[in-house]
Amino acid sequence: MRTITMKGNTMTKTLKYENTANIGDTIKAYDFARYGEKESYIQGIVVDKGQCDDKYYVCYKIKLTKRLVGGDDVTQKTIDAGADVWYVPFETSDDDREFSNPELQEKVLPRVTKVKEAA
């Protein structure tokens, strides 16, 4: 939830994907390629949510279980490089992007989805 104060008035706003998952759930987060044909995403288990580590934004902190780039599985290569923890913002400026082309708009996927509930 984001708190905004303007001219002495305070209001709160729930961010777009803030309530998608809880700690222990598995999420999938699409990259910008969610608009195209070749999938690019990260998937992982939520280990923390909110103000995580030194991030200036609120997010999900996930332990990587899968990573696709342009349709290619690069999970093991990514983990071997030491990038097994990722951060997924609750909201970005691109989340509500709309296209003038209806066919392209129909292909847009939600940026963050819950894949599996925690056991």
* Average of per-residue pLDDT across 83-90: 96
pLDDT at 73 over 80: yes
Query: In this structure, which amino acid lies at residue 36?
Result: G
Report the predicted TM-score, pTM, of the whole model to 2 decimal places.
0.83
38-66 tens-digit pLDDT: 778 999 999 999 999 999 999 999 999 99
Distance of alpha carbon 87 from alpha carbon 105, whole angstroms: 26
Range with the largest mean pLDDT of 9-23, 73-87, 94-108? 73-87
Domain that holds residue 83: 17-116
What percent of the chain has pLDDT above 70?
Answer: 84
Q: What is the total count of domains within the chain?
A: 1
What's the confidence (pLDDT) of residue 76? 97
pLDDT at 24 over 90: yes
Instruction: Give domain status of residue 95, yes or no.
Output: yes
More confident: 106 or 37: 106
Give the pair of three-digit tokens for residue 93: 């400026």
State whether the Cα torsion 28-33-37-38 is positive or negative.
negative
Query: In this structure, which amino acid lies at residue 53?
Result: D
Give the pair of three-digit tokens for residue 4: 């905004």
Instruction: Give domain status of residue 9, yes or no.
Output: no
Instruction: Give domain status of residue 31, yes or no.
Output: yes
Instruction: Give domain status of residue 11, yes or no.
Output: no
What's the confidence (pLDDT) of residue 108? 72
* Average of per-residue pLDDT across 110-118: 91
